[in-house]
């Protein structure tokens, strides 16, 4: 309905539009006053209208999916969002950047600065190590300026977003012992993507809880990389992800030993100071804790915390929507910065409750 002045709109494309991060990108971009979606690619649904792939979009996007062709995309789009599987993104990003396109990669392919971490954690050799150095980790609360001028943004994983935002202030201030950090996250099922498999089959997941990837989840090095950077010294975390029966949402509970006694109220003040002028982070009042439902479908991250004098530990809890702030919303936030727009464009909506 909104007939924005098209001359000011950036031309954007999505590669890998048929997954959940794809449909979530479209949800934001079809309403974006300063963006126009010009192309969608998807191998498995090539030549199919996107309204058939995602009937919710019928009437909102009038594009068909097509096979990925980097040269063709580069001819049409100024910005390309890559919602492709890990390992696939590397080459596509390189081809697009070479042609002058600015790239927002939602895969893990450019998140780790250390190329040797890819064989260890992902099981493949990185084929574009030179680009790793130029890629900016797309967490705007930490890297706003670098994102604004980046050619390649590596949009963070969903778990790292919640873990890093939950830990950054106390790590930056040296308030927690970096060898005592335990991160337990609970995620909705949509984080596992749209491909049907037994572990995400409804009757297996519903009414069940489990941990998975214990001691070897791929988001671990990403969390440690950013926290080590903030701390200025190596930070190691034990990260355990869990799956719960809901579609969207990540709740992350962080436990760490305080380096000195701190009252909850003082820690809340530290967080509020750290996130001043970061509109998407809401630090809750003492006595309140986040619930994922309060950020559902939004780009917000809610953080609450408690200082436990009895054990000398702090417990921080953060909540995001894994597909929004944990993926596509964050990508659009990065796009806004790259395009010189208000960070909140198309994203400034409250959590949709209930």
Q: What part of residues 106-145 is at the interface with a copy of itself (CB under 8 A)?
A: none
The DSSP line for 15-75 is: ESTTSHHHHHHHHHHTT-TTEEEEEEE-STTTTSBHHHH-GGGTTT---BEE---HHHHHH
Task: Name the residue among 97, 7, 82 with its Cα closest to residue 40.
Answer: 82
Q: Which residue has the tokens 């539009």?
A: 17
148 counts as binding a copy of itself under rule CB under 8 A: no
Angle made by CA atoms 322, 326, 330, in degrees to the nearest 5: 140
Chain positions 186 to 215 lying near a copy of itself, rule: CB under 8 A, are: 186, 188-190, 194, 196-198, 200-212, 214-215
**The pair of three-digit structure tokens given for residue 193, joined into one six-digit string:** 């993507």
244 counts as binding a copy of itself under rule CB under 8 A: yes
The DSSP line for 100-120 is: T-EEEE-SSTTT-S-TTHHHH
Q: How far is the CB of 47 from a copy of itself (least distance, A)?
A: 17
Chain positions 296 to 325 lying near a copy of itself, rule: CB under 8 A, are: 296-298, 302, 306-308, 310-311, 313, 315, 317, 319, 323
If the CB atoms of residues 269 and 315 are measured against a copy of itself, the closer one turns out to be: 315
If the CB atoms of residues 127 and 208 are measured against a copy of itself, the closer one turns out to be: 208
Q: Is 334 a residue of the active site? A: no
Distances (CA, A) of 224 to 9, 54, 171, 325: 37, 36, 11, 19
How many residues lie near a copy of itself (CB under 8 A)? 91
Catalytic residue of the set 65, 158, 301, 334: 158
Contact window for a copy of itself (CB under 8 A) among 53-61, 89-97, 100-108, 269-277: 53-61
Q: Please report the sign of the dihedral spanned by the C-alpha atoms of residue 203, residue 206, residue 209, residue 213.
A: positive
- Binding test (CB under 8 A) with a copy of itself, winner from 16, 160, 249, 326: 249
Chain positions 86 to 105 lying near a copy of itself, rule: CB under 8 A, are: none
Are the CB atoms for 295 and 284 separated by under 8 Å? no
If the CB atoms of residues 102 and 297 are measured against a copy of itself, the closer one turns out to be: 297
Chain positions 252 to 271 lying near a copy of itself, rule: CB under 8 A, are: 253, 255
Catalytic center residues: 158
């Amino acid at each position: 309905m909104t007939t924005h002045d098209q001359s000011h709109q950036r031309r954007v494309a999505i590669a890998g539009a048929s997954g959940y991060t794809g449909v979530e990108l479209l949800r934001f971009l079809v309403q974006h006053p300063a963006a126009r979606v010009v192309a969608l690619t998807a191998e498995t649904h090539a030549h199919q209208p996107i309204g058939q792939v995602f009937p919710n979009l019928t009437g909102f996007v009038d594009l068909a999916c097509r096979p990925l062709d980097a040269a063709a995309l580069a001819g049409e789009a100024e910005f390309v969002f890559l919602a492709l599987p890990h390992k696939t993104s590397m080459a596509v990003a390189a081809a697009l950047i070479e042609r002058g396109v600015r790239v927002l990669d939602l895969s893990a392919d450019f998140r780790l600065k250390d190329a040797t971490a890819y064989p260890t954690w992902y099981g493949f050799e990185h084929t574009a190590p030179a680009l790793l150095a130029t890629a900016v980790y797309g967490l705007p609360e930490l890297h706003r300026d670098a994102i604004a001028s980046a050619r390649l943004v590596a949009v963070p994983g969903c778990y790292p977003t919640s873990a890093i935002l939950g830990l950054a202030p106390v790590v930056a201030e040296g308030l927690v012992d970096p060898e005592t950090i335990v991160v337990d996250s609970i995620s909705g099922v949509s984080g596992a993507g749209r491909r049907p498999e037994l572990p995400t089959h409804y009757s297996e997941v519903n009414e069940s809880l489990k941990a998975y990837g214990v001691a070897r989840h791929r988001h671990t090095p990403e969390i440690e990389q950013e926290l080590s950077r903030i701390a200025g010294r190596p930070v190691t975390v034990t990260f355990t992800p869990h799956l719960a029966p809901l579609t969207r949402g990540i709740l992350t509970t962080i436990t760490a030993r305080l380096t000195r006694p701190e009252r909850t109220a003082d820690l809340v003040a530290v967080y509020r100071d750290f996130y001043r002028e970061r509109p998407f982070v809401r630090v809750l009042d003492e006595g309140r804790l986040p619930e994922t439902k309060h950020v559902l479908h939004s780009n917000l991250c809610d953080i609450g915390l408690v200082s436990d004098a009895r054990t000398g530990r702090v417990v921080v809890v953060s909540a995001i929507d894994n597909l929004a702030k944990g993926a596509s919303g964050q990508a659009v936030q990065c796009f806004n910065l790259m395009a010189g727009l208000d960070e909140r464009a198309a994203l400034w909506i409250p959590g949709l409750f209930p």
